A and B are shown apart, each in its own frame.
Chain A
Amino acid sequence: MVLVEQSWPIWTEYGILPFLTTTTWAPNYVDPNTGVTSVQIGAVPMIAGTVLSAVIGLFVAAPVGVLVAIFLAEFAPRRLSLILTFIIELIAAIPSVVIGLWGLYIFAPFVRDTLQWYIASTIGQVIPLFAEDPQRPSPFSVFTAGMVLAIMIMPMVIAITREVIRSVPLSLREGHTGLGATHWETIRRVVLPTARIGILGGIMLAFGRAVGETIAVTMVIGNIDQVPPSVFQPGQTIASKIATNLGDITDRIELAGLIGLGVVLLFVTVTLSAVVRVAARRMSMSYSGG
């Protein structure tokens, strides 16, 4: 509420629609052709960077996380499973600034020289979204941010998926095993479909987490207010924009714009987690009812 009030100028004076559609962030924008100065406060670069990096993170974390959860819940012996679960909980406990530091100096260059190089020289030749800057391949990019996010949200995907998988009743597994199915067939045909909604909910919560992650992303995304022409180019997320700029800003409308970004972020994350929780509640009710 306070945030909405403080960001009021951006919605009223600048306008919601321009704010959400302008692709430039420059309070003193000088048009290179006409020389005319104008106020350009657009959220599009940040929204694009946020969505892209979170989606990339999810694309890695969701399948890998589900596989890990399957391993922990179905295949690993009990003792090993507990130990691995403990280790994965520790990953979630690492302060994000430490992950960011590691990402900045170790992981980002590593990604640039391996994955990024590989993707850019294959898919990147065809699809510009995966092309890298040929002169100066940057280690700091939306892609690197996505990879760091993948590491950070993985524990969440794993923990939720593991719980949901374990809550699939034994009777259903036995019903399928009794038909002469292998363990994997039972997981694929019965366990995963039954747990589908819960897994989806976990992935959505993880997405919300990725959208809001600030420090680690700020440290590896490159912090350039542009709609990234490729995932291997630097960008900016809503959270990283706030983190890098708030505090230095005195311009009234720009400050309102930054807080406005915060409102957008708050709105998105609250909506995501509210939707998931409501769905979860419905589900558990229909379970206990039936």
Chain B
Amino acid sequence: MTATPTAVATRESTPTARGAAGHQAEVGLRLDGVSAFYGDFRAVRDVTLEVRPMAVTALIGPSGCGKSTVLRTLNRMHETIGGARVEGSVRLDGIDIYRPDVDPIRVRRLVGMVFQRPNPFPSMSIYENVASGVRLGGLRDRRQLDEVVERSLRRAALWDEVKDKRHHPGTSLSGGQQQRLCIARTIAVEPEAILMDEPCSALDPVSTRHIEELIAELRRTFTIMIVTHNLAQAARVSDDTAFFTMGDDRAGFLVEAGPTTTMFTSPTNRLTEDYVAGRFG
């Protein structure tokens, strides 16, 4: 029943070429037998998955299948909820992020997260929102901060729209702009990977298109994992797709994973076929 990791075995593109485009080392995220619990309830069962670096991996599946929970185990956000815990291992470049000597704060700086609803900090300006993560790292120098903020806003394709009102509140922006602001805030701390939890579900189609274009741009530098309930979006933005569904015990599990084209055209599992064909979910 449990899917075997197929993503790496079937990869066909040339990651080195892409990696060279970025300035960062290759990143390898790998889940091994990951189960996630809320108290006694097992929300996710035994997920094993290798995530391709410098690519976009979409997590799809019916609601309640634990795909968001899986995402949140990858930067240890899952455990911030009371009673929540994780079993199994998640390795970043071969190091288990759940090792007792690894601090979750380090993990979160290396694996950033963009949330379902745009959540700019209402007490901060656009500038301060982008600078907030960098400041945590201890950067104080105004000029360097200015640089980081500008670079991050440019990479989030927001600079031209906000450069004259950087000191307005972040919440004064439109929903789509707010989400790009949150992306800028995340990439400002230079993570290895970015986790996106249904980043477009609260946005209109035009804003959604902006974000998707942005994702296509960002995948040259970052490993991206995106949870989406929108199959068309998964098909548009992702290189690989992992399909999750819910078992009889209401625990989500990974059905199969592979290159997006394969997953959508000739999946090996019947459940995947039914789901991508729109027969359930």
Contacts and interface: CB of A to CB of B under 8 A. Distances in A.
Interface of A: 78, 169, 171-172, 174-182, 185, 189-190, 193-194, 196, 290
Contacts, number: 67
Interface of B: 75, 77, 80, 82, 105-109, 112-113, 115-117, 119-124, 132-133, 136-137, 171, 182, 185-186, 189
Given A175-B115, A179-B132, A179-B133, A194 B121 contact: yes
A180 B121 contact: no
Contacts of A78: 82
Report the 4 A-B pairs with minimum CB-CB distance, sorted nearest first: A193-B123, A180-B109, A179-B133, A178-B113
Given A179-B136, A182-B105, A190 B115 contact: no
Contacts of B113: 174, 178
Contact of A185 (B107, B115, B136, B171): B136
B136 A181 contact: yes
Contact of A290 (B82, B123, B137, B171): B171
A193 B121 CA distance: 9
A179 B122 contact: no
Contacts of B105: 180-182
Given A179-B109, A193-B121, A194-B123, A174 B132 contact: no
A231 B45 CA distance: 66
B121 A178 contact: no
Given A178-B112, A180-B105, A172 B80 contact: no
Nearest to B75: A178
Given A171-B115, A174-B77, A179 B185 contact: yes
B182 A174 contact: no
A179 B186 contact: yes
A174 B108 contact: no
Most chain B beta-carbon neighbours within 10 Å: one of A169, A179, A185, A190? A179
Given A179-B112, A180-B105, A194-B122, 7 more contacts: A175-B119, A176-B132, A178-B75, A178-B108, A178-B112, A178-B115, A189-B121
A177 B109 CA distance: 10
A82 to B, nearest CB: 14
A175 B117 CA distance: 10
B37 to A, nearest CB: 18
A196 B121 CA distance: 13
Contacts of B109: 179-180
B132 A172 contact: no
A190 B75 CA distance: 20
Nearest to A193: B123
B121 A175 contact: yes
Given A172-B119, A172-B122, A194-B122, A177 B108 contact: yes
A180 B123 contact: no
19 contacts: A172-B122, A174-B115, A175-B119, A176-B121, A176-B132, A177-B80, A178-B108, A178-B113, A178-B115, A178-B186, A179-B112, A179-B132, A179-B133, A179-B186, A180-B108, A181-B133, A189-B121, A193-B124, A194-B121
Contacts of A180: 105-109, 133, 136-137, 189
Contacts of B182: 175
A190 B133 contact: no
A179 B117 CA distance: 16
A228 B119 CA distance: 51
A68 B246 CA distance: 43
A177 B77 contact: yes
Contacts of B121: 172, 175-176, 189-190, 193-194
Contacts of A178: 75, 77, 108, 112-113, 115, 186
Contacts of A169: 119
Nearest to A179: B133
B115 to A, nearest CB: 6
Contacts of B116: 171
Nearest to B121: A190
Nearest to A173: B80
Contacts of A172: 119, 121-122
Contacts of B77: 174, 177-178
Contacts of A290: 171
A224 B133 CA distance: 56
A169 B119 CA distance: 9
A181 B189 CA distance: 12
Nearest to A181: B136
A172 B119 CA distance: 6
A189 B132 CA distance: 8
Nearest to A178: B113
A181 B109 CA distance: 9
Contacts of A177: 77, 80, 108
Contacts of A174: 77, 80, 113, 115, 119
Nearest to A175: B119
Contacts of A176: 121, 132
A189 B182 CA distance: 16
Contacts of B115: 171, 174-175, 178
B239 to A, nearest CB: 24
A190 B123 contact: yes
A250 B247 CA distance: 85
A172 B80 CA distance: 13
